[in-house]
Structure 1
Amino acid sequence: MPNEVKVNLLKKLGYKSDGIFVLKKNGEKFLDKYTEEPVRLDNMFIYPGSTIILDNNSLSISSFLEKYGDVF
Structure 2
Amino acid sequence: FEVLIGSSRSHLWDQMQVWEDVFLDAVAQERDIIGLDQGPAEMMERYYSLSNADRKRLELDEDRLLAVMLYNL
TM-score (norm. length: structure 2): 0.29
Instruction: Answer 1 or 2: higher relative contact order, Cα 8 Å, separation at least 6.
Output: 2
* Greater helix proportion: 2
Q: Report the structure number with the largest CA radius of gyration.
A: 2
TM-score (norm. length: structure 1): 0.29
